[in-house]
Amino acid sequence: MAVDTGLFIAVTLVYLAIIICLGYLGYRQTKGDDDYMVAGRKANSVVLALSYGATFISTSAIIGFGGVAAQLGMGMIWLTVLNIGLGILVAFIVFGKQTRRIGSKLRAVTFPDLMGKCYQSPFMRYAAGLVIVIAMPLYTAAILIGGAQFITSTLQIPYDTALIAFAAVVALYVVFGGLIAVMYTDALQGGIMLVGMTVLLVLTYVHLGGVVEAHTALAAMSDLVPEALAAGGMTGWTSMPVFGSPIWLTMVTTLVLGVGIGVLAQPQLVVRFMTVKDDRALNRAVLVGGPFILMMTGVAFTVGALTNVYFYQTEGLIALAAAPNGNVDTIIPNFINASMPDLFVVIFMLALLAAAMSTLSALFHVMGTSLGFDLARRTDSGRAAMRPIQIATVVMIVVSVVLAFILPGSIIARATAMFMGLCASAFLPAYAHAMYCSRPSIRAAKISLVVGTVAWFVWTAFVHVKESAALGISNLLFGVPAILSAPWQDVDPLVVALPLSTAALLVGWALDRHEVTAEEAAKAA
């Protein structure tokens, strides 16, 4: 279905006009670097919740992971469980309050700045900033790809044009408005996403004859699972894969655990906790954030799996077979365009654009502050301090756009899981140690960050076959796509790197405590 161009233009102009107004409001309220980087530490709880949720959920969840659910089934719902349990409850209650208190006390304005000040270590600041600058463009590019693909499939315009225009619009208000503009626009975009996903769920069930009928039809399609997927352990779209099979390992270790745990150490989310003035705002935000995440991810994974019923009833094909070149990232856009009323296509396109823009704006902001503030070690204040950060933001946006042109298809979900897994492996143990230890060990933090990062990269380059085969380093050096055989080559790097990072932190901490005890004993003697 082709969108009514006049209707789309009218709705989009209204949307963009509001976005520009909110961006300008953020610009007017941004007087210095504290406003630019942590929104002046006075964000409203509802704005925080919607901004956090909209930043967390992007086109990678709706298009990328929705497409994966179409391919692998409703086992993806376990990711929704972890998203709410860890990404909202644990993140806000366990980490959020401590992050706000310590961040406010130390006047930290970025995640690397927080780590550097907690440990009184330039190394931790530089290392965290470097990981962000090197790795975050991959995730950012995946978000750009998701938004551009939907614009292309809906408006039938060239992909290159869609990608560049999309990045330019977001860049405009991020570069000038800082985090205040980002959070204001996030709140609006979160509201649009909630409306779009709710209507999508209702219309999908209406289209398929009802809730019971839709799920019964999907369960009856288990004999249509492609031979390659069945050999990998898939048993159907309403059941989990065979325990321990390659598909089970991919779903559980990469998609569910990689994203579910990785969310706890996302720099663009951690900084949100430092934007509110008290713990009560965080408590109230949980009441909004939990249902929001449930609707965003739960609907995407449910509708994704149910697209198989629609395409089988209309085309005699499962969703993956109906996708051009087997690209899972096109399944949700194609389903929307083929099955939904013209008005809803426009509304849902805005919801997807809102999802992509909200996450993109946060990633642009974090990359810019990491490069222009943390790595450059600026000491200016006021608007003078913002200029190098704005320049750095533009540089990182350009890098991300170039990368988006290079990456292959079906990359959105994988790139998201990769970045979140790396963040958890590199940052999570040291971050938790800094928040809950009165005298955090700098030795332990350094060892943990280095071990977690190196272990993740080594496993990615030489063992996890989905990445190692594409990178080609293992094949070049050892003549094989992965140096270990199944099942290890299907185990996500997070499952190996995070335990090693945690163990490294405990060893370093124990060594420090032993040395302190020895010194105290020597003084007493």
Separation in Å, CA 384 to CA 110, 351, 368, 388: 18, 36, 15, 8
Residue 277 pLDDT? 82
Residue 378 pLDDT? 59
Average pLDDT, the chain: 87
Of 53-57, 138-142, 468-472, which range is least confident?
53-57
Question: Which tens digits make up the pLDDT trace of 314-364?
Answer: 999 999 999 888 888 789 888 988 888 878 888 877 887 788 788 888 888
Could you give the CA distance from residue 45 to residue 280 in angstroms, rounded to a whole number? 8
What are the extents of the domains in the chain?
5-423, 441-525
Tokens of 461: 């380059």
Sequence-separated (6 or more) residues with CB below 8 Å from residue 90 = 264
Residue 34 pLDDT? 72
Could you give the CA distance from residue 241 to residue 162 in angstroms, rounded to a whole number? 37
Could you give the CA distance from residue 501 to residue 303 in angstroms, rounded to a whole number? 37
- Amino acid at the residue 484: L
Of 57-66, 89-98, 125-134, 485-494, which range is least confident?
57-66
Residue 380 pLDDT? 57
Sequence-separated (6 or more) residues with CB below 8 Å from residue 344 = 199, 200, 203, 336
Residue 5 pLDDT? 66
pTM: 0.85
Could you give the CA distance from residue 147 to residue 133 in angstroms, rounded to a whole number? 22
Residue 14 pLDDT? 87
Residue 525 pLDDT? 59
Q: Is residue 439 helix, strand or coil?
A: coil
User: Do residues 375 and 126 lie in contact, with contact meaning Cβ atoms separated by under 8 Å?
Assistant: yes
Mean pLDDT of 239-256: 92
Does residue 119 register a pLDDT over 80? yes
User: Do residues 348 and 194 lie in contact, with contact meaning Cβ atoms separated by under 8 Å?
Assistant: no
Residue 1 pLDDT? 44
Separation in Å, CA 106 to CA 39, 113, 351: 16, 9, 37
Question: Residue 398, CB half-sphere, CA atoms under 13 Å: how many?
Answer: 6
Share of the chain above pLDDT 90, in %: 41
The closest alpha carbon to 331, from 257, 228, 412, 224, belongs to: 412
Mean pLDDT of 28-56: 79
In this structure, which topology does domain 5-423 adopt according to CATH? Sodium/glucose cotransporter (1.20.1730)
